[in-house]
Amino acid sequence: MKSTLRTLRTYACALALATTLASCTKTVAPGTTLPSTPDQKFPGGAPITSADLTRTYALPQEPPPYDPSIRREEYARFAWRQFIYLNSPAELNFEGKTPAGTTPVVRGQIDTHRNFASSGDPNFYQNGVGAPNPLGSNQLVWETFAHRSELFPANAPPMGVIQFTSPQYNFANVTVGPKSDMIRFNNLDETTQISQNQIFFPKNPTGTPSDNPYDDHMILFEAKVNQVEYEYIANTFASIKNLPKNTYPSQDDLPKDIPHIEFPPNKDNSQLPAAARSDRESIEVKAAWREMPDDLIKSGRYHTAEALYYVNGANGPEPRVGTFGLVGLHILRKMKNYPAFTYTTFEHVDNLRREEGNPTGLYVITLYDTMNYRLSLHDPPITKTPQAMVNTGTGHFQSVALPLEGKVNAANGYPIISGPTQSKLPSGFAGPIRVEPSQAMTKAVNEVNAEVSQVMANTPGFEKSVWKYYRLAGIQVFPVDETSVTATGEPDPLTEDFYLANTVVESSRPGIQLFKGAVSDPGTRGAAPNQLINERSQPNILQVPGLADSYNTVVMGGCMGCHGNAQYPRPQDAQGKEKPGPTIFNFLTSEDTLSGKGFEVDVRATRAGEPRANTRVYIE
């Protein structure tokens, strides 16, 4: 990894786009949308064209209410249009538009003088970095969103408005302020896939794991939210016990019965205080970044950026800056017609195979060594091997066997990579486990990816674009019950993305990749510290305002099902056992974050167990 500051550059469109064709032209007013054609149900579902890649316009408007006649290809194109918008350059902050010396960009705002073509320059980020501001002027729209530690800062009030404010990262175990020369918009504070495993690219060209996995190239993560969700949380804090705005409650002050949290758009939710109601849309982003050797930085195949990460220091976690490559991107968006959020995920084409076609050797180390299945939280273990019924859009289901319950080893069906790495892992860990392709890639998604690839090939300015090397992995738009996945007859179109997953964000098949129901992470909700429990028949879409009853108590899979476990507060029955509560779809909201404890950073360890991953558990 590299840690460098580069020369100061002038904030000018022409200079920023010297190597990109047609990048300062073909802009249209924000909010402009393409007209729909007779065979399209909504404008965002129309075929992708060169104009989509070179014009500048607002986030694509939401689809109409879910209708089975809306083809899956239309939703896939809608997903691509979201990706194009969010990966366009953020607006430059200069010429007296805002207070001087704050940030070099307007956070969360697209630049109407630049476009998706310009951000595809392999040196996009590097061309905008230089003293005196280490943040850099070339940022993607989503990169400037509020980091989770800004949404829920530890022992500090949320700022409320962040558009012209430098990042301020307040964690429970470290603080990085705007005056630090290490401050960056990308803050990779998570080293695990929701506390379940850690993931690595082997540095060995043969794809063989190193004896010590922490000598390989690790994938790190970050979570961000847009200004709409950020303001909603700030206003929600202000409403608790009628506290003055920006007065952060202590844990003692926090009432036990916090009002039901319902992220915007929510203007019809009469339970919410007026300040917290909004018909604007919440957007969340989860990004996966890989540590980059020099040859990959220079390859021109990755969007790269400098980012914060953390190592062990004499007095706790210490921030460092390195150059990382984007390998996975989740986009979560809540819309009036889609109150359970839509879930879109993209990944790099080289995640599993290198450019020349050889396997990368991508593998995980699990933070548990035992895995069990249950129907629901209080049921006995399942004795038979669970099956995942996968619909790839070809007209029928394919049965995929999950590993046997019990020890995480080759005998129980895990693709363990034999060698010295396995024998050197400490107790409670398992692996290395080869990452296998996601089963979520559907016929419609593959066809639209090919469509977009062809358009890029025929569009000036994309000859050397990094965006040629990213693909849509899938999109979930509406919940569907597990009974639709096991039923005979014509498959429900919604089941095509039932097991939506990304190979670098959801890598372990029993834990996340072929997930449905609920999960007890190691050491939580009755699971032992070395045990993961998958409750495969636990309803997880519950009491969502705006959802019809037929969709509102279901067992969902994939990203939507996992987020459906985000329930706060989680009520208890008369016997004191916890029971499912209303779904809020936000892993970031918990009693800890609402009481001001915030999050802790994960340290990029040098060996397994040093320290054991300390990510705030998402599914509690």
Secondary structure of residue 606 in the 3-state scheme: coil
CA angle 185, 189, 194 (to 5 degrees): 125
Q: Is the peptide bond before 522 cis (omega within 30 degrees of 0)?
A: no
Q: Per-residue pLDDT averaged across 63-81, rounded?
A: 96
Which residue is it, tokens 């129980």? 412
CA angle 430, 435, 437 (to 5 degrees): 150
CA distance 189 to 149: 9
Residue 581 near residue 156, CB atoms below 8 Å: no
Helix H or strand E segment including 450 = helix 443-457
pLDDT band at 277 (very low <50, low <70, confident <90, very high): low
Identity of the residue numbered 493: P
Task: Provide the residue range defining the domain that includes 555.
Answer: 13-60+67-226+282-594
pLDDT of 239: 56
C-alpha of 412 from chain center:
30
Domain tally for the chain? 1
pLDDT band at 596 (very low <50, low <70, confident <90, very high): confident
> Following CA atoms 193, 309, 151, 248 in sequence, which dihedral angle do they give, to the nearest 10 degrees?
120
Average pLDDT, the chain: 84
Residue of 231, 262, 261, 265 whose CA lies nearest to 334: 265
Residue 397 near residue 389, CB atoms below 8 Å: yes
Flag whether pLDDT at 1 surpasses 60: no
pLDDT digits (tens, 9 = 90+) for 209-234: 999 999 999 999 999 999 999 988 88
Flag whether pLDDT at 302 surpasses 50: yes
Half-sphere exposure of 221 (CA within 13 A, CB side): 22
Flag whether pLDDT at 616 surpasses 90: no
At a CB cut-off of 8 Å and minimum separation 6, what does 98 contact? 106, 163, 164
Out of 96-110, 444-458, 530-544, pick the least confident: 96-110
pLDDT band at 613 (very low <50, low <70, confident <90, very high): very low
Out of 51-65, 253-267, 508-522, 539-553, pick the least confident: 253-267
pLDDT band at 278 (very low <50, low <70, confident <90, very high): low
Flag whether pLDDT at 569 surpasses 90: no
- Percent of the chain at pLDDT > 90 equals 57
pLDDT band at 577 (very low <50, low <70, confident <90, very high): confident
pLDDT digits (tens, 9 = 90+) for 16-30: 322 232 333 333 333
Half-sphere exposure of 395 (CA within 13 A, CB side): 0
Residue 599 near residue 152, CB atoms below 8 Å: yes
Q: Is residue 364 part of a domain?
A: yes
Identity of the residue numbered 207: G
Residue of 315, 322, 364, 309 whose CA lies nearest to 603: 309
pLDDT digits (tens, 9 = 90+) for 413-470: 999 999 988 888 888 999 999 999 988 899 999 999 999 999 999 999 999 999 999 9
Q: Is residue 490 part of a domain?
A: yes
pLDDT of 95: 53
Flag whether pLDDT at 563 surpasses 50: yes
pLDDT of 21: 27
Q: Is residue 243 part of a domain?
A: no
Flag whether pLDDT at 475 surpasses 80: yes
- The pair of structure tokens assigned to 59 is 């986030």
pLDDT of 348: 98
Residue of 4, 89, 603 whose CA lies nearest to 294: 4
Q: Is residue 484 part of a domain?
A: yes
pLDDT digits (tens, 9 = 90+) for 353-375: 998 889 999 999 999 999 999 88
pLDDT of 248: 45
CA distance 73 to 447: 8
pLDDT of 476: 97
Q: Is residue 83 part of a domain?
A: yes
